[in-house]
Chains A and B, each alone.
Chain A
Amino acid sequence: MTKSKIEPFVNLNVNPCKMCMPMGAVTAFYGIKECISMLHGSQGCSTYIRRHMATHYNEPVDIASSSLTEQGTVYGGEKNLINGLKNLIELYHPKVIGVATTCLAETIGEDVTRIIEKFYRENKEYQGITIIPVNSPGYGGTQYEGYFGALRTILEFVPMNCEKNNKVNVITSILSPKDTRFLKRMFQSFGIDIILLPDLSSNLDGVFKKTYDRLPSGGTSIEEIKDMAGAKLTLEFMNLELESSPGKYLEEQFGVPYRRLNLPIGLRDTDAFIKTLSQISGNEIPGEIVEERGRYLDAMIDSHKYNAEGRAVIFGEPDFVCSTVRLCVENGIIPLVSATGTTKKQMKELIEQEIKEVYERFFIKDYEIIDDVDFKKIENLTEKLDANILIGNSDGRRIEENLQIPLVRRGFPIHDRVGGQRLIMLGYEGSLSYLDDITNAICSKKETTFRDTIYQTYFENAHINNLNIEIEEKTKKHPCFNGCASNSARIHLPVAPRCNIQCNYCVRKFDCPNESRPGVTTKVLTPEEAFEKYKIVKSKIDNLNVVGIAGPGDALANFEETKETLKLIRDYDKNITFCLSTNGLMLPKYANELCDLGVSHVTVTINAVDVKIGAKIYQYVHYNGLKFEGESAAAILLANQLSGLRILVGRGVICKVNIVTLKGINDKHIPDIVKKVKDIGCYITNIMPFIKVKGSKFENLEPVSNKEVNIIRKECADIMKQMYHCVQCRADAIGTLDQDKSIEFEIDKKNNIKQDLTETYRFAVASKSGVLVDQHFGQTLEFHIYDYKDGRVIYKEIREINNYCHGEEVCEEYEDKLEKLLHIMKDCNGIIAMRIGENLKNRLHDRGMKVIVTYDRIEEAVKYAVQSM
């Protein structure tokens, strides 16, 4: 069976958290002096109960049976009961016999009282023996009802002596023998003479003696019980008020004043107990007890730091549960589940207020107080509410084993440990022992798991293999990473116009095909414009959760812009998810800074992890001011991509790798790329089809079909998570945002753009295509002259020149050439070129000419230039 499903068993009790009435009845009789009990029914009942009690108490448990057979069910059990009583008396010589009924006797309607009367009539010699009949059908309740029922019946049955005496009646719910001994000692130390019913202090926790006594010597004698009617007070130790309370019976019948006290467990209830003893006796509280209290209080403070982590499941008899809840609450342990198998609705009223207060203090939502429950339900709740400690009898051991949650054993039965009869809970010392056991269980669990827990929670999850929850959540919301699963919108801010590599499938006239769809030319924004755009879009679209920097060039080739944009937005919105896409060339340099900026998602386009293949894909890379081609270009790019990814993954960034499928070039190589990036720890790969671009080096390369791409994706899905394009998303979240011209328009209208932009500038632009700033300053043969006026970029004319540069070594000699150029461009405020030698740049600068180096569409470049003026 699955261990943890929340399962609504109603008619099927799965793993009972209760026993039957006869169990309780015979336990009560074990506290009566020279008493043996006999169960009227099949012999299995007494055998089973003996077996369960003997295993708990490690003592002989003698319970006789009337051994009813099938014949008895037909003709009645009178003969068996009478013979049984006779045999029992002859062999064991009891002074008292408790005859408790069972399911069988009750179902066939045995009148035990009448049978006992008959027995006395027929056996006059046994009239001195008190035989007490108790009704305890197994279906009538649990051991809890059986126990109190038997006590009450004993009082009703024994002829009472109403003569006043100075004793105090003490009636308790089922306690361990050691706790009972404590209780007696306390009364003794205050000089209070008590009649304890029942006295379980010794019969079920015997001593090793020279000879074995068949009848245990302890217990309350019938003579003492008779005196209970004349006592000056009855103290009843139970948390619940019972209709059938034996103490109330004494009050109603004999006018013995009645007081109910909670079991003296925990500070408050022990205080109340000690105070009561002091009041009754008129004696001061002995110094020793005051010290015990101080010690318990001291321990409560010492262990609070562990206890505060306690999330407890408490189960057992109602009194046990109530008392344990109160002890836990006192010590800052949260009772998540308080459960009893007995049907007792009042339990909830008694403890709910206590529990609520703790809950409010600790901001915890759920707790459960339930009666009539089985262990299956308790186990489900334990798991659901994430408890870390179980408190109750040893039947909880299955949950302990299944869920690996420590069980503090108290109550009855304890079958898998020794010493159940010696466990203590009462008084300051008992409470201290109980609390220590609970605290130590919390500690032992912590001690054996905290290294792993801390490592996994704060180190491993956060940085290495697993994702921490925050990023995981962000990833779930991220449309670029989780496609359809996400309802979030994203915005791509085009603040990065320049690129530092040349892919053979790319023409820089268009947006970078590594990330965006080709064909849509995007307006390049300054960081400030981008921020304004973001704010406007955010105000319109609630679910805007992701800001991406994806081009139109490479985000890291424009790092200053990228950085500025992210900073502005981060200051404005702490929760936004940042993502960024790059070719990876500059990753090692900026990876840590990106993390510091709060970028949680990065996409790197890697088309090859083999330098030879890479050389076929990349025309050149510009790195550290130098241009590399062929294999050396591919090698630099690859090395930087991989080391950059390692840094990002190490810092917990979710990395996606885009791969462009190039038929005949890298299509067979793609699984190797996927394996490589999986080993590094990337989250997902996005294998994309190659789209032909006219004018690119690969314009004649045969494109791959979607079908072919999907075959590769499926193959790679065995290696790691794959991204499949989702039309719905594109049309919805991404599409709407990308094409929302009205928003862009609003920015202009609102005049949110810098004042400077309204001034007029003129620039000379080095361009070959006439669309892009794509020429080296020294190599261009013509300059395109553009004006900037009223926020608009206006083309003026082309001015031809002889190209300036023939190589570095000869530059110096052409001083006059520079003068010529300056003359041609004397009406310009600046020069815009893709590249320019550093030396020349300085000289132009010295001559008052602004030099702007960029790779962009001319319009954007001009606007950019204006920004930097």
Chain B
Amino acid sequence: MSVIREEVLDKYSAKVYKNRKEHVITVGEGNPDVVSANTRAIPGIITQRGCCFAGCKGVVLGPIKDAVIIVHGPIGCAFYTWGTRRHKAIADERKGEKADSYLEYCFSTDMQEADIVFGGEKKLKKAIIEAMDIIKPKAIFICSTCPVGLIGDDIHAVAKWAEEEYGIKCIGFSCEGYKGVSQSAGHHIANNQLIRHIIGTGDKEPVSKYSVNILGEYNIGGDGWEVEKLLKRCGIEVISIFTGGSSYRDIKNAHLADLNLVQCHRSINYVADMMYDKYGTDWLKINFIGIESCKESLRAIGEYFGDIELKARIEEVIADEIGNIFEELTYLKSKLKGKTAALYVGGSRSHHYQLLLKDFGIRTVLAGYEFAHRDDYEGRTVIPEIKPDADTKNIESITVEPDPKFYKVFLSEEQKNILKEKGILLNDYPGMIQDMDEGAIICDDLNHFETEEFLKVLKPDIFFSGIKDKFVIQKSGFLSRQLHSYDYSGPYAGFTGSVIFGNDLLMGLSTPAWSYIHAPWKSNPCLEARLEVEEYA
């Protein structure tokens, strides 16, 4: 099946070809399959990747609703991250304690030429004074953009000053856009500061017998609410969510939870790892996208706590949720079965959604990540093999020591082994490849050019990606669904979300417009006959 890869990469120069062929593989051809990842994007090729600032401010910090995030830099970066991601939140009040939400707001120091020449620290300080005078938040995050690091503004000194001056939480995030090779660097920087400055500073004990944090759930289209609802139905308390719909005041209590559930491995695995080292909190890679995945994830949580009553409750909830969607699900399956899909999203979604597609009998022919690392493809067992390059080394990697007050061991080695025998992996992620069919293609850092080429060759029924390539896909005559923003739809998580997802696909595939693509006055068919799936499988 390398034929397909060769066909797509054929037009590259030798140098680019050499680079790209390491990123594009056919599952089952390697022994084992190796995907080059987290390397520099090729200039000029029109990558779909974003920058470090996007990963830090846009992804991890953005959804934290009660922190005022001041973007320190010229106006563009702040503007472009204003309400562009569909992470939802409600400003909830608890026990009369007012919870502000600043998600609808965008704060920037709006640096001008003079600030670049003479430094912007003073302006940043004044901006914080204004924020404290007028908005009075409990926490302020300062995010750097490209020029800030270059002109040497010390945002961390300003953050320290603000903490002393106002007694609030103020944290600097040096997430200049040029750092690392993609958003991923920004995730890491955000993770570091969360563990360093926030997690472990709260004292609100859980009230229920079993409590968890949900890591890497950003509440796009209400996914986080759907997941939290499922867990609550099972009697599991959710202490904090990283970071969809979440708040500074919840995240600071994260260390008091019994277990971490990791949804998006890429963006938050550093927090999971460091919490394991510092507080002894185990983490479980779960996935609430897909019906079978939801079942497995809930059952794994039941097994972890090992409580018969809890397990029984989980089974009841699963039975009830399935009962609610069964008829619709059966209908959707009958309509969607046999379709093919390509996915190009994020650092985890391309994996999660394959499992949901499988529930509907849709086969994945191409999957790729924008900013993943090798472990997201191949599993965490490859981590020791990954040689850190210059770009990786530039991102601080911190090690933490067990916390003398809060470190506790939840499960004995023996208990862990029992879990392992049941197929439940703790503190580990096996990666995307193991869930993929042989012959399917994996493409890391898929770019604009390759998207077009793969469409021509693979002709999937549905291409899942984002807004930047959406219109290329549609103009090529294919259904495009955005998996970053869900095209204004959602939630897609949980049992209910699966049906919403299925309906969206059916709606998209059967929209009458597709049938009019071929104008009656033209004799030759508009779209060439598509390859049958079997031909290359």
Q: What is A's interface to B at a CB cutoff of 8 Å?
A: 1, 5, 7-16, 18-20, 22-23, 38, 41-52, 54-55, 58-73, 80-81, 83-88, 90-92, 102-104, 107-108, 137-140, 142, 206, 208-210, 212, 214, 376, 395, 398
Contact = CB atoms under 8 A, between A and B. Distances in A.
A69 B178 contact: yes
B82 interface: yes
B118 interface: no
B43 A47 contact: no
Given A16-B75, A62-B46, 11 more contacts: A13-B107, A43-B177, A44-B77, A54-B468, A65-B46, A69-B40, A73-B149, A85-B44, A104-B150, A138-B77, A139-B111
Contact of A71 (B104, B126, B176, B390): B390
B500 interface: no
A20 B471 CA distance: 24
A103 B178 CA distance: 11
Interface of B: 11-13, 16, 40-54, 70, 73-84, 100, 102, 104-113, 115-116, 123, 126-127, 129-131, 134-135, 145-147, 149-151, 176-182, 390-391, 394, 448-449, 452, 466-472, 475-476, 517, 522, 526
Nearest to B135: A1
Contacts of B54: 44, 47-48
A71 B390 CA distance: 8
Contact of A139 (B131, B134, B147): B147
B468 A42 contact: no
Contact of B106 (A15, A20, A62): A15
A52 B80 contact: yes
A48 B150 contact: no
Contacts of B179: 69-70
A12 B130 contact: yes
A718 to B, nearest CB: 21
Contacts of B49: 43, 47
B140 to A, nearest CB: 11
A683 B373 CA distance: 71
Contacts of A22: 76
Contacts of B83: 398
B471 A48 contact: no
Given A11-B123, A84-B43, A18 B75 contact: yes
Which of A9, A14, A104, A137 has the most CB atoms of chain B within a 10 A radius of its CB? A14
Nearest to A90: B13
A138 B390 CA distance: 28
Nearest to B525: A210
B75 A208 contact: no
B75 A138 contact: yes
B74 to A, nearest CB: 4
Contacts of A83: 42-44
Contacts, number: 245
12 contacts: A11-B109, A11-B129, A12-B126, A12-B130, A13-B78, A41-B146, A44-B177, A48-B76, A68-B178, A84-B43, A91-B11, A137-B116
A107 B147 contact: yes
A85 B43 CA distance: 8
B105 A11 contact: no
B41 to A, nearest CB: 5
A10 B130 contact: yes
A69 B84 CA distance: 24
Nearest to A374: B110
Nearest to B518: A210
A80 B151 CA distance: 22
Contacts of B470: 54
Given A15-B106, A54-B468, A60-B469, A43 B51 contact: yes
A66 B47 CA distance: 10
Contacts of A214: 452
B32 to A, nearest CB: 29
B468 A47 contact: yes
B8 to A, nearest CB: 12
B475 A13 contact: no
Contacts of A210: 522, 526
Given A42-B178, A47-B51, A212-B472, A104 B147 contact: yes
Contacts of B115: 139
A92 B178 CA distance: 25
A139 B129 CA distance: 22
Contacts of A66: 43-44
A47 B70 CA distance: 21
Contacts of B105: 1, 14-15, 376
Contacts of B134: 1, 5, 7, 9
Nearest to B475: A212
Given A54-B471, A84-B43, A212 B476 contact: yes
Contacts of A90: 11-13, 16
Contacts of A107: 116, 146-147, 150-151
Contact of B76 (A62, A81, A138): A138
B37 to A, nearest CB: 16
B351 to A, nearest CB: 22
A8 B104 CA distance: 19
B44 A88 contact: yes
A43 B42 contact: no
A761 B178 CA distance: 110
Contact of A65 (B47, B74, B107, B129): B47
Sorted nearest first, the 8 A-B pairs with minimum C-beta distance are: A44-B51, A20-B76, A84-B44, A84-B43, A42-B177, A48-B80, A87-B44, A138-B74
Which of B47, B76, B112, B151 has the most CB atoms of chain A within a 10 A radius of its CB? B76
A606 B72 CA distance: 68
Nearest to B450: A91
Contact of B146 (A11, A42, A52, A71): A42
Contact of B75 (A13, A67, A69): A13
A572 to B, nearest CB: 52
A108 B448 CA distance: 28
Contacts of B81: 48
Given A45-B76, A68-B178, A102-B146, A1 B100 contact: yes
B84 A103 contact: no
Contacts of A42: 51-53, 146, 176-178
Contact of B42 (A44, A87, A104, A140): A87
A11 to B, nearest CB: 4
Contacts of A139: 73-74, 111-113, 115-116, 147
Nearest to B519: A210
Nearest to A85: B44
Contacts of B131: 12
Contacts of B82: 15-16, 395
B178 A80 contact: no
A515 B45 CA distance: 90
A14 B147 contact: no
A46 B449 CA distance: 16
A84 B84 CA distance: 28
A47 B50 contact: yes
B54 to A, nearest CB: 5
Contacts of A206: 475
Given A43-B49, A87-B44, A212-B476, A69 B146 contact: no
A72 B468 contact: no
Contact of B107 (A5, A14, A61, A72): A14
Contacts of A16: 75, 78-79, 82, 106, 108, 110
Contact of A51 (B42, B76, B149, B467): B467
B102 A1 contact: yes
Nearest to B125: A11
Contacts of A88: 44-46
A658 to B, nearest CB: 39
Given A1-B105, A48-B80, A87 B75 contact: no
A15 B42 CA distance: 34
Which of B81, B150, B182 has the most CB atoms of chain A within a 10 A radius of its CB? B150
A210 B181 CA distance: 37
Contacts of B149: 73
B409 to A, nearest CB: 39
